[in-house]
Amino acid sequence: MSDFAASLATAASLIVEVEPRLVQTVLLSMQVSGTATLIGASLGLGFGAWLAVARFPGHAVLVGALNTMLAMPSVVLGLVVYLLLSRAGPLGEWGLLFTPTAMVIAQSLLVVPLVAALARRLVLSALAEGGDQLSSLGAGPLTRAALLLAHERYGVLTVLLTAFGRAIAEVGAVMIVGGNIDGVTRVMTTTIALETSKGDLPLALALGIVLLSVVAVLNAVIGLLQWRQQGRGAPAEAWA
């Protein structure tokens, strides 16, 4: 138990001291995962919405494959991206390995299936409620999907937060494609892994607490925005 107490104290002092290297590492984590979430959102929302309304032979197979991708271990994905971006691989000329860009690519690939699967669910349930009426207004299938995504925008926000959480918490992919280079591709999770392997467990735990605190603040800010939006004459939609 003393380990936990020591870590909490360390975490508090780390946050208060605002040490530049720690700040840089946190910022890099947020930027990499944030960018990956945005990319995942733009690709995943459209794909998920399309999957909810499209009908073609093999549709069920595609949905099954998508759901399987949800269980993709991040380290396996990292390995695949590594082999693609390695100089010895097909995309080696781009010289992206061991850069933050490679980390963004890996995390985007991790996040797209998640966003797509959840968006599909969101659109399907909204379609059950209002798809018919939108159809009677003259909306085609893709338009219905897009309108319902806009209609369910708080649900979409939750999906994006989930995706961001998945991205910022993973270590396997960014470790392999980023190389955990000090000052260049070292993010919070890889730093925690490094400190753990160096045997400095209290520090590793403290860094974990710092990471969680940062994400908690982000969630609180978004929750506050949602609450203020809903305060303007909207019904009590729960934290969707």
Partner 1 sequence: MDDLNRTPNSHLAPARPRRAPGRRMLGAFLVLAAACAAFGAVPAAAQERFIVMASTTSTEQSGLFGHMLPAFKQATGIDVRVVAVGTGQALDTGRRGDADIVFVHDTAAEEKFVADGFSTARRNVMFNDFVLVGPKADPAGAKGSDIAAALKKLAAGGQPFISRGDKSGTHAAELRLWKAAKIDLATAKPAGYRECGCGMGPALNMGSATNAYVLTDRGTWLAFKNRGDLTILVEGDKTLFNQYGVMVVNPAKHPHVKAALAQQFADWVVSPAGQSAIAGYKVGGETLFFPNAAP
Partner 2 sequence: MKELQGAARSALASLRPPLVTLRNAGVRYGPQQALQGVDLTLRRGDRLALVGANGSGKTTLLRLLHGLPGAGGVQGERVAHALTAESGETRPCRFAMLYQRPFLLNFSVRWNVLVGLWLQRPPGMDGPARAARCHRALERVGLASLAARRARTLSGGQQQRLALARAWALAPDVLFLDEPTASLDPGAKREVESLIAEFADDGVTLVMSTHNLGQAKRLATRVAYLEAGRVLADLPVDRFFRGDELPEPARQFLRGELPWTT
Determine, following the binding rule CB under 8 A, whether residue 135 of this chain makes contact with partner 2: yes
Determine, following the binding rule CB under 8 A, whether residue 150 of this chain makes contact with partner 2: yes
Determine, following the binding rule CB under 8 A, whether residue 44 of this chain makes contact with partner 1: no
Determine, following the binding rule CB under 8 A, whether residue 131 of this chain makes contact with partner 1: no
Q: Measure the CA–CA gap between 188 and 210, rounded to whole angstroms.
A: 9
Determine, following the binding rule CB under 8 A, whether residue 143 of this chain makes contact with partner 1: yes
The amino acid at residue 75 is V
Determine, following the binding rule CB under 8 A, whether residue 153 of this chain makes contact with partner 1: yes
Output 86 or 226, the one with its CB closest to partner 2.
226
- Non-local (6+) Cβ contacts of 208 within 8 A are 192
Residue 205: exposure state from Cβ atoms within 10 A (0-12, 13-18, ≥19): buried
Output 52 or 175, the one with its CB closest to partner 2.
52
> Which of 184, 216, 217, 224 lies at the binding interface for partner 1 (CB under 8 A)?
184
> Which of 8, 63, 142, 209 lies at the binding interface for partner 1 (CB under 8 A)?
142
CB of 68 to partner 1, least distance (A): 26
* First-last CA distance in the chain: 36
- CB distance 194 to 237 below 8 Å: no
**Of the ranges 15-23, 33-41, 122-130, 206-214, which one interacts with partner 1 (CB under 8 A)?**
33-41
Spacing of C-alpha 103 from chain mean position:
12
Buried b (16+ CB within 10 A) or exposed e, 142-157: eebbbbbbebbebbbb
Query: What's the token pair of residue 114?
Result: 């998640």
> Which of 137, 199, 228, 238 lies at the binding interface for partner 2 (CB under 8 A)?
137
Neighbours of 178 (CB within 10 A): 26
Q: Where on the chain is the footprint of partner 2 (CB under 8 A)?
A: 129-130, 132-139, 143, 147, 150-153, 232-235
Q: Where on the chain is the footprint of partner 1 (CB under 8 A)?
A: 31-32, 34-35, 38, 86-89, 92, 95, 97-101, 138-140, 142-143, 146-147, 150, 153, 157, 179-182, 184, 194, 196-201, 225, 229
